């Protein structure tokens, strides 16, 4: 069992632990695992009854696999059925173009493992449950932060029993995603940008005589649309990118218009498009990008999407969220275990992670502004911009995007206890 104490306070159940982690996504699950294995009592609160959501990010990047390899879990994770992506091939009017190729990187894992996020989260929390310091509470909906003398000392949450409970902790960490309640309750304000695109995600069946997709991912470009396909074990995960603000127009045109746009962009998937018959097969991802100037105040820290929402360009959101968790565990495990945690420790987590976040968001913005916006604003067939063609002819420069997507500006590793 988790090393917590349970007391009664004014008719309420009050538990205590060292670290309360709010949000059972990749950042929260990984942070809880890494703290528990260092002997820090940690309780993970997840508001849903399970981890199963449609079209959550399923990418496990090389940096995540390297961290799991450090603690002997990478090979075990890769026993879960998965596919491998080394990089997309974008089909332009003047030929194919690969913006990055992870296969050239020097690592045991030169690919992105496509693992359903529900399986990944179940795996991480199952491994965490092997440590007595870990406790997982599903369907635990945080209602408020508990503050005393200007310091957050825990949360009040609505349990599965419909009753409000208190969980008191030295530190509360918000890992509850792009719509973070912890961020809002703590008063952290993100600086938002407005990426000029949205994405409709959907599944396509695997059929006999499948198109060959180099590197496990493909992008067809033309006619003001970008069609994305990611290879999965038993299906294709597909997306149609279009200018922001056009969703209602796209929906009003109906499923037939989606099929037509998809076939015009990439004829090889014409047969697959016939499976699209109902709007309920589509999920809208409203693309946004933001970053909080401040991630902490006494007793509370936000990381992952709660602190910085990433554009889907490069699929790096999960990668950077997990790297946040690794750095947080490195910095905070010792102070939490010795009960000497201070805001200076929280500031150190932000210091180490804010610069890599700024770098990748700048790269994403460049890709969007120089390449994707140009495509989406044009009704004519698009060519590869000459700047990109020149960049990728220089061996040293061509691998920079791959390294940023795989590892960020610097590799993140677990600190030895």
**% of the chain with per-residue pLDDT over 90:** 56
pLDDT tens digit sequence for 201-235: 999 999 988 887 877 777 776 666 788 888 888 88
E strand residue ranges, 159-294: 164-174, 191-193, 197-205, 216-222, 225-231, 235-243, 283-286, 289-291
Instruction: Report the sign of the C-alpha dihedral through residues 231, 232, 236, 242, in that order.
Output: negative
List of domains in the chain: 5-192+289-407 (3.50.50.60), 197-286 (3.30.70)
Enter the DSSP assignment of 234: S
Residue in the structure block whose two tokens are 């406790």 = 135
Q: Which whole number is the average pLDDT over 343-354? A: 98
Nearest to 124 by CA among 80, 183, 173: 80
Position with higher pLDDT, 385 vs 97: 97
* Residue 59 CA, distance from chain mean position: 8
pLDDT tens digit sequence for 362-376: 887 777 766 666 666
Q: How far is CA 218 from CA 198, 208, 374, in A?
A: 18, 18, 19
Strands 235-243 and 225-231, by their bridges, are antiparallel
Cα separation, 222 vs 220, in Å, equals 7
Q: Which whole number is the average pLDDT over 253-268? A: 86
Q: First-to-last CA distance in the chain? A: 22
Check: CB of residue 289 under 8 Å from CB of residue 325: no
Mean pLDDT of the chain: 88
| pTM as predicted | 0.89
pLDDT value, residue 12:
62
């Amino acid at each position: 069992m988790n090393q917590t104490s349970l007391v009664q306070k004014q008719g309420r159940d009050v538990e205590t632990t060292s670290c309360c982690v709010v949000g059972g996504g990749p950042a929260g699950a990984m942070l809880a695992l890494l703290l528990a294995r260092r002997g820090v009592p940690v309780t993970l609160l997840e508001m849903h009854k399970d981890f199963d959501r449609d079209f959550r990010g399923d990418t496990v990047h090389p940096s995540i696999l390297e961290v799991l390899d450090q603690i002997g879990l990478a090979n075990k994770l890769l026993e879960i059925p998965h596919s491998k992506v080394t990089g997309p091939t974008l089909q332009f009017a003047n030929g194919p173009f690969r913006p990055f190729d992870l296969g050239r990187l020097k690592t045991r894992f030169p690919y992105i493992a496509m693992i359903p996020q529900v399986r990944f989260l179940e795996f991480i929390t199952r491994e965490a449950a092997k440590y007595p310091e870990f406790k997982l509470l599903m369907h635990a909906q945080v209602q408020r932060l508990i503050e005393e003398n200007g310091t957050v000392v825990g949360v009040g949450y609505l349990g599965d029993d419909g009753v409000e409970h208190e969980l008191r902790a030295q530190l509360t960490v918000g890992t509850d995603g792009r719509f973070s309640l912890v961020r809002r309750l703590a008063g952290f304000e993100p600086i938002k940008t407005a990426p000029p695109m949205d994405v409709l995600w959907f599944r396509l069946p695997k059929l006999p005589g499948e198109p060959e997709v180099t590197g496990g991912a493909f992008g067809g470009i033309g006619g003001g649309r970008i069609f994305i396909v990611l290879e999965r074990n038993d299906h294709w995960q597909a997306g149609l990118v279009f200018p922001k603000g056009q969703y209602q127009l796209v929906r009003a045109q109906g499923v037939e218009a989606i099929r037509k746009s998809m076939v015009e962009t990439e004829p090889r998937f014409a047969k697959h498009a016939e499976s699209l018959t109902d709007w309920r097969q589509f999920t809208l991802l409203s693309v946004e990008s933001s970053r909080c100037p401040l991630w902490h105040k006494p007793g509370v820290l936000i990381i992952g999407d709660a602190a910085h929402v990433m554009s889907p360009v490069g699929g790096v959101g999960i990668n950077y969220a997990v790297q946040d968790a690794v750095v947080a565990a490195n910095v905070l495990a010792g102070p939490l275990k010795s009960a000497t945690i201070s805001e200076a420790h929280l500031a150190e987590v932000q210091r180490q992670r804010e610069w890599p976040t700024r770098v990748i968001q700048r790269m994403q913005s460049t890709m969007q502004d120089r390449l994707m916006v140009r495509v989406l604003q044009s009704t004519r067939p698009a060519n590869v911009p000459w700047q990109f063609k020149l960049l990728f002819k220089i061996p040293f420069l061509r691998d920079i995007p791959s390294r940023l997507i795989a590892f960020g500006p610097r590799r993140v590793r677990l600190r030895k206890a």
